[in-house]
Amino acid sequence: MALSKEERGFLRGLHTRVADRALEPDDPLYEPIHQQLNEDDPVAIMQGRIELADVQTMQLFSGFSGCGKTTELFRLRRDLRKQGYIVLYADALAYVNQFEPLTIADMLMVVAGAFSDALKSDLQIDMQQESFWERLRRFIERIEVRPSGSEAKLEYSSPGHSILGGIKAGLSIRAELKTGSNFRRQLQEFLSAYLVQLQRDVEQFFEDGAKAIWAREGEDKQIVFILDQLERLRGDYRNWQQVIRCVQQLFNEHLDRLRMPYVHCIYSVPAWLAFLAPRPPDMTMLATMRLWNRDSQRTPYPKGREIFRSLMRRRISDADAVRLFGPAADAAIERLIEACGGHVRDLLRMVQEVLARTTVLPVDSGVIDRVISATRRDFLPIALDDARLLHDIGVKQNLEPETLDETAIERLSRFFNTHLVMYFENGESWYDTHPLIRDEVARIVSDEKPTE
Amino acid sequence: MSTAADAIEIDPIERRYGVLAAAEWRTLLNLFELAGGFTLIVQVVPDMAGARLCRDELQTWLVRRSRRLEVIEPTSPAALHVAAETLFNLPEDPYRGAIWLAAAPGPEVPEPDEWDLAWRHALVGLNQQRNRLRRQFRQPLVLVGNDRLVPIMQEVAVDLWSVRSLSLRIEPGREALIQATPLEPMREQPEAFQDGTAPDPELALRMADRLRGRPGQESGLATLLARAGHGFAARGRWAEAEAALREAADLFEQFGPQPEAIWSWITLGDRFVATRRTDQARNAYAKAAATAERLARAEPDRADYQRDLAASYDRMGYLYRALGQGEAAREAFANALAIAERLARAEPDRPGYQRDLSVSYERMGDLYGALGQGKAARETFAKVLAIAERLARAEPDRADYQRDLAASYDRMGDLYRALGQGEAAREAFAKALAIAERLARAEPDRAGYQRDLSVSFEKMGDLYRALGQGEAGREAFAKALAIAERLARAEPDRADYQRDLSVSYSKMGDVYFALGQAEAARQAYAKALDIAERLARAEPDRADYQRDLGASYQRMGDLYSALDQGEAAREIFAKLVEIFERLVGAEPDRADYQRDLVASLVRQAQITERAVAREHVQRALGIVEALQASGRLAPSDAWMLPVLRQLLDAPPP
């Protein structure tokens, strides 16, 4: 029997509520996951560092795809604002191309450019009409000083002449940064040669920005700048190795250059940086919400399930749940929570898929079976090499890669980003495989053994 | 209108080699005046450039007497080998005033032994036919060679040697003494805060105050103090800068090394150098290097730590060089170079690393030059040029690469000039000038390019002057001066433009001096001196301004001395000595200041009555002997000792 108009409206309403998006902490749909656990709250950790350090800090924040980083950064912003901080937020993807290698020169431009734009959009401060982009143009134009060795004369040059030719021709630096154009490559190479000067310029821009804010708000106000989404840098099939190398160099070698005067900077960065030794300092990882404990039986973790149930209730009330799933709604929801492995985004996507597959209310359990089956299918096929490593991770509930070269990093990143592997933190860091693939991984590994 | 004083002739040999050499030369000319018939003169010169200079002078002198010079200048050892035959085959010529047989290979010739062998053969031939020489030639014969000529002659042609009428040496003397190798201006740190990027020091201090006394915040406090220090330094508020940087550096040292600590120490070190606090500078650079070493050891893969370490070594080398500790300087520069080479090898496509490497080669090349190792210098500068050419070829539109290329051509030009290879020098300078002109034409409003052009004109001018092409030199210097005047007028508050202008006036004065236009020279020197005095008065702590002032006094004093205005010259030279006494007093370790003092004492001796002159020379000799005894006398200055002893034996009137 076809769904009635009213039933379709009901499903549409639910679909809207389970749509995946970053939530502000005051949103009724927001579930305060980390606040309910008697464990380290990453937002509280970051806020604590800022409060203790006073004048300026730099922190990295990360987590794997879909674990709610942006939502938590929104919470941090709200909490800091409540404490009287001036918080600026920017999305790095408005400035960088995630499929192109990012150098420190790019990063400095992005950081300052994003800060400049946020000053204007969030605080309506236009720095006397001089945005960072305009300063950057002048920087490139500005002279470089070095002595000629002749009678103490100093020679000056304008090395950026050829670069500026492009800008004068109407290209926007900001727009070009998002491309892989020849101009961008030239700009990148050029600025790499004048890195220290660029850094000074960027620092000066931050100082001027801070002064502009303080001129209006008072010098006792502390400033926080959050640059989100940098974790999405991943390259594509042609250049992933180069992109990984660049990111590694950026956050390994040049991290200090990203400290800005008088501003607490928070950068969201690729999570695989946490694998590296030494791990970058002041890096906070947002773990996956765990549904089981770290033991061989994977005994359930009731608190985690409770939180997920609460999260679902904010989006689908008990009454609506019964209407959707029937009298066994709790069991149906439990099945979906179990299948999501602790990923909120996956849970919401599965519910959306249930809604899409619904032809009759309440849905029968077969729909849920098919949705879970389809989710499992998305992980397959698993290559033998991958299965071996996944099996090892599942057995040890830990990550012990033999190497951490670009290939290994890319592989692990893929595992985490596709949720084949999850990262947990409850007093200790540990890893496990997704519940939906464990049987398949075990089968592949066991099938392989007789032939060895 | 010319005055009588304007009519003086300034001897190019004096200009180049000083009054001792000029006096020797005048002796030769006197002999020419006196002697009738054949006389044998043995003349030692440093290299072929010196030989050519003397040759041209002699030619001019003879032409004025309606006679000509017969020149035999073998271009190869083989040609010298048969020089005796060449000589005896000369046809009779009633207008021949003298015969000039010259082969004076400089230290850079690829086969010095072959030239020695050729001289031996030629001298043996001449020795065997010494009577024929007397019979066949009724003019003086001048044998011109390098310092190997006399010992060879004494060994294989002792008879010929015994009949010589005169042996003379045209070598660097007093003039070179006064032109002590200047300590180059410190290379501008790319890491330095520049106009428009200097932090607000007051703000940084206010923020730092928030962190004082808070355990765990020392690193943040140090960062803010360093920022304040750099801000004060950029504003010339040095006392505050030093205090802030010192506190920052101490905190960094106490609470863990950080890259900012390196640059705090280096900035302090640079300031100590500029303000003549050598020991403190050495200590600051050593701490910078130690911090960089610690960081680099902890994370050997971090290229930035390696670069900081190289920068620290570079500064150490610079200081050691100034202190006359050549070997220590070489070691420090070699350490910096090794790092640059390693980084450039690891990432050959990174232009930044290639440029670092190029700068390191430059440093080594300069040092080799100062140590008198011309061949090594040339090879090193060739590497610099190769890098610059490669980068410029790869990206011809990059103005900075073009500028690097021009600078490399200039360096090669300087080296060729020093080696007496005038044409090669001219070609190199011309290439640099062409680039400077192109860039200046492309962006005429850019002061920097105009300055580049001015430097290029000055280099050409210097070369023309050295080649004896005074008028061409004057034109080049006039162009440079016009640019310097324009820039100084546009931004009168800029001390560097004022300094440029002073240099340009001095150079114009030199040209007028060389052309015998004494009044014009005096006016130009007076303008240069005025600027130098103004700058030195404004910043009395700055040693470089004091040295500039010294250079201006020296020029003015020379002029008065040449014009026989002894009293004025004495007064000026007394001020000159006073400047360097002050500098030496403040920094007794600085070998370069000691050298300057030696030069000013000798200059003063030249115009003082005999007894006092002896005292001055004695004192100068004492300084040089002390430098030698402490191993700080540069090999290229070793000639000072015999020259000073000779002066002591026969002090100038």
- Weakest-pLDDT range from A24-33, A386-395, B14-23, B304-313: B14-23
Residue tagged 């700080």 (tokens): B632
- How far does CA A134 lie from the centroid of its chain? 29
- Is residue A130 located within the same domain as residue A15? no
Angle at A402 between CA A399 and CA A404, to 5 degrees: 85
Instruction: Answer yes or no: are the C-beta atoms of B44 and B102 closer than 8 Å.
Output: no
CA–CA dist B369, A6 (Å, integer): 93
- The confidence score (pLDDT) of residue A142 equals 55
CA–CA dist B597, B574 (Å, integer): 11
Measured over the CA atoms of residue A265, residue A270, residue A275 and residue A276, the dihedral's sign is negative
> Is residue A117 assigned to a domain?
yes
- Is residue A213 located within the same domain as residue A301? no
**How close does chain B come to A28, measured CA to CA in Å?**
39
- The confidence score (pLDDT) of residue B11 equals 56
- Is residue A9 located within the same domain as residue A122? no
* Burial status of residue B423 (CB atoms within 10 A of its CB: 0-12, 13-18, 19 or more): exposed
pLDDT band at A449 (very low <50, low <70, confident <90, very high): low
Instruction: Answer yes or no: are the C-beta atoms of A212 and A119 closer than 8 Å.
Output: yes
Mutate to test the interface with B, among A49, A139, A141, A161 (most CBs of B within 10 A): A161
- The confidence score (pLDDT) of residue B319 equals 84
CA–CA dist B234, B228 (Å, integer): 10
> Is residue A194 assigned to a domain?
yes
* Burial status of residue A37 (CB atoms within 10 A of its CB: 0-12, 13-18, 19 or more): middle
CA–CA dist B539, B531 (Å, integer): 13
Pinpoint the alpha helices (H) of A124-239.
Answer: 132-141, 161-168, 173-177, 182-192, 195-217
Ranges of chain B with pLDDT below 70: 1-12, 14-23, 27, 30, 33-36, 64, 66, 107-108, 172-197, 274-276, 370, 372, 418-420, 634-639, 650-653
Extract the tokens encoding A171: 């290209």
Find, in chain B, the residue whose alpha carbon is nearest to that of A149.
B184
CA–CA dist A152, B458 (Å, integer): 12
> Is residue A433 assigned to a domain?
yes
Instruction: Answer yes or no: are the C-beta atoms of B545 and B535 closer than 8 Å.
Output: yes
- Which residues form the domain of A304? 5-21+292-378
CATH code for the domain of A433: 1.10.10.10
**How close does chain A come to B307, measured CA to CA in Å?**
12
Q: What is the DSSP string of B128-174?
A: HTHHHHHHH--SEEEEEE-TTHHHHHHHH-HHHHHT-SEEEE----H
- The confidence score (pLDDT) of residue B178 equals 34
Q: Do A157 and B410 touch (CB under 8 A)?
A: no
Distances (CA, A) of B426 to B335, B402, B409, B477, B508: 34, 19, 10, 15, 20
Pinpoint the alpha helices (H) of B539-631.
Answer: 543-562, 566-586, 591-606, 610-629
> Is residue A452 assigned to a domain?
no
HSE-CB of B123 using CA atoms within 13 angstroms: 30
* Of the partner residues A149, A160, A253, the one whose CB lies closest to the CB of residue B302: A253
**A-B contacts at Cβ under 8 angstroms:** 155
Instruction: Answer yes or no: are the C-beta atoms of B601 and B617 closer than 8 Å.
Output: yes
Residues 536..595 of B with a Cβ closer than 8 Å to A: which? 544, 548
Give the residue from B423, B530, B516 showing the smallest Cα distance to B474.
Answer: B516
Query: Is A172 part of the contact surface with chain B (CB cutoff 8 Å)?
Result: no
- The confidence score (pLDDT) of residue A210 equals 94
Find, in chain B, the residue whose alpha carbon is nearest to that of A150.
B455
Which residues of chain A are within 8 Å of residue B452 when distances are taken between CB atoms? 148, 155-157
Q: What is the DSSP string of A19-62?
A: ------TTSTT---HHHHSSS--HHHHHHHHHHHH-S-EEEEEE
* Of the partner residues B188, B214, B302, the one whose CB lies closest to the CB of residue A154: B188
Q: What is the DSSP string of A363-383?
A: PPHHHHHHHHHHHHHHH----
> Is residue A150 assigned to a domain?
no
Distances (CA, A) of B320 to B281, B282, B308, B316, B333: 11, 9, 18, 6, 10
> Is residue A33 assigned to a domain?
no
- Is residue A391 located within the same domain as residue A370? no
Decide which of B237 and A30 is more confident: A30
Distances (CA, A) of A60 to A250, A372, B247, B467: 13, 35, 29, 64
Question: Percent of chain A scored above 90 by pLDDT?
Answer: 32
Mutate to test the interface with B, among A104, A134, A153 (most CBs of B within 10 A): A153
CA–CA dist A109, A107 (Å, integer): 5
Q: Do A207 and B203 touch (CB under 8 A)?
A: yes
- Is residue A85 located within the same domain as residue A135? yes
Pinpoint the alpha helices (H) of B396-446.
Answer: 399-418, 422-442
Q: Which residues contact A435 (CB under 8 A, 6 or more apart)?
A: A338, A339, A341
Query: Is B347 part of the contact surface with chain A (CB cutoff 8 Å)?
Result: no
- Is residue A16 located within the same domain as residue A54? no
- The confidence score (pLDDT) of residue B181 equals 34
pLDDT band at A200 (very low <50, low <70, confident <90, very high): confident
Extract the tokens encoding B264: 């705090």
Which residues of chain B are within 8 Å of residue A253 when distances are taken between CB atoms? 302-304
Task: Mark which of A260, A286, A312 sits at the end of a domain.
Answer: A286
Provide φ and ψ at B467, rounded to 5°: -85, 0
> Is residue A270 assigned to a domain?
yes
- The confidence score (pLDDT) of residue A179 equals 66
Provide φ and ψ at B644, rounded to 5°: -65, -40
CATH code for the domain of A106: 3.40.50
- Is residue A50 located within the same domain as residue A123? yes
* Of the partner residues A155, A192, A259, the one whose CB lies closest to the CB of residue B452: A155
- Is residue A230 located within the same domain as residue A272? yes
State the pTM of this model: 0.64
Query: Is A182 part of the contact surface with chain B (CB cutoff 8 Å)?
Result: no
Kind and range of the H or E run holding B296: helix B278-298
Assess whether pLDDT exceeds 70 at residue A367.
yes
Instruction: Answer yes or no: are the C-beta atoms of B226 and B220 closer than 8 Å.
Output: no
Count of helix runs (H) and strand runs (E) in chain A = 19, 9
Q: Do A161 and B399 touch (CB under 8 A)?
A: yes
Q: Do B451 and A155 touch (CB under 8 A)?
A: yes
CA–CA dist A351, A329 (Å, integer): 12
Q: Do B403 and A149 touch (CB under 8 A)?
A: no
CA–CA dist B327, B321 (Å, integer): 9
Give the residue from A59, A79, A401 showing the smallest Cα distance to A230.
Answer: A59
- The confidence score (pLDDT) of residue A129 equals 62
Give the residue from B210, B201, B200, B218 showing the smallest Cα distance to A55.
Answer: B210
- Weakest-pLDDT range from A20-34, A90-104, B158-172, B195-209: B158-172
Provide φ and ψ at A30, rounded to 5°: -70, 130
User: What is the C-alpha end-to-end distance of chain B, expressed in Å?
Assistant: 32
ipTM for the complex shown? 0.75
- The confidence score (pLDDT) of residue B187 equals 33
Query: Is B303 part of the contact surface with chain A (CB cutoff 8 Å)?
Result: yes
Q: What is the DSSP string of B2-70?
A: --TGGG----HHHHHH-HHHHHHHHHHHHHHHH--S-EEEEEE-SSHHHHHHHHHHHHHHHHTTT-EEE
> Is residue A103 assigned to a domain?
yes
- Is residue A248 located within the same domain as residue A330? no
Query: Is A374 part of the contact surface with chain B (CB cutoff 8 Å)?
Result: no
HSE-CB of B127 using CA atoms within 13 angstroms: 17
Mutate to test the interface with B, among A145, A221, A252 (most CBs of B within 10 A): A145
Q: Is A97 helix (H, G, I), strand (E, B) or coil?
A: coil
Q: How many structural domains comprise chain A?
A: 3
- Is residue A12 located within the same domain as residue A50? no
**How close does chain A come to B285, measured CA to CA in Å?**
20
Q: Do B304 and A142 touch (CB under 8 A)?
A: no
**How close does chain B come to A175, measured CA to CA in Å?**
23
Query: Is A215 part of the contact surface with chain B (CB cutoff 8 Å)?
Result: no
- Is residue A299 located within the same domain as residue A364? yes
Residue tagged 């106000």 (tokens): A221
Model pLDDT for residues A288-329, shown as the tens digit of each residue:
888 999 998 999 999 999 999 999 999 999 999 999 999 999
Cis previous bond, A435, omega within 30: no
Which residues of chain B are within 8 Å of residue A148 when distances are taken between CB atoms? 407, 410, 452, 455
**Strands A421-425 and A429-433: what pairing?**
antiparallel
Distances (CA, A) of A411 to A244, A251, A415, A421: 11, 20, 6, 11
What mean pLDDT value characterizes chain A? 82
Neighbours of A417 (CB within 10 A): 18
Task: Mark which of A378, A404, A421 sits at the end of a domain.
Answer: A378
- Is residue A422 located within the same domain as residue A278? no
Count of helix runs (H) and strand runs (E) in chain B = 30, 5
- The confidence score (pLDDT) of residue B182 equals 34
pLDDT band at A154 (very low <50, low <70, confident <90, very high): very low
**How close does chain B come to A300, measured CA to CA in Å?**
41
- How far does CA B432 lie from the centroid of its chain? 19
* Of the partner residues A153, A256, A259, the one whose CB lies closest to the CB of residue B455: A153
Query: Is B214 part of the contact surface with chain A (CB cutoff 8 Å)?
Result: yes
Which residues of chain B are within 8 Å of residue A165 when distances are taken between CB atoms? 397
Model pLDDT for residues A261-297, shown as the tens digit of each residue:
999 999 998 888 877 766 777 889 888 888 999 998 9
Query: Is B445 part of the contact surface with chain A (CB cutoff 8 Å)?
Result: no
Which residues of chain A are within 8 Å of residue B349 when distances are taken between CB atoms? none
Residue tagged 């030369």 (tokens): B25
Task: Mark which of A350, A378, A406 sits at the end of a domain.
Answer: A378
Which residues of chain B are within 8 Å of residue A277 when distances are taken between CB atoms? none
Residues 52..81 of A with a Cβ closer than 8 Å to B: which? 52-57
* Of the partner residues A52, A54, A144, the one whose CB lies closest to the CB of residue B210: A54
Residues 233..252 of A with a Cβ closer than 8 Å to B: which? 252
Instruction: Answer yes or no: are the C-beta atoms of B225 and B254 closer than 8 Å.
Output: no
Query: Is B448 part of the contact surface with chain A (CB cutoff 8 Å)?
Result: yes
Mean pLDDT of A110-130: 84
Find, in chain A, the residue whose alpha carbon is nearest to that of B181.
A151
- The confidence score (pLDDT) of residue B12 equals 67
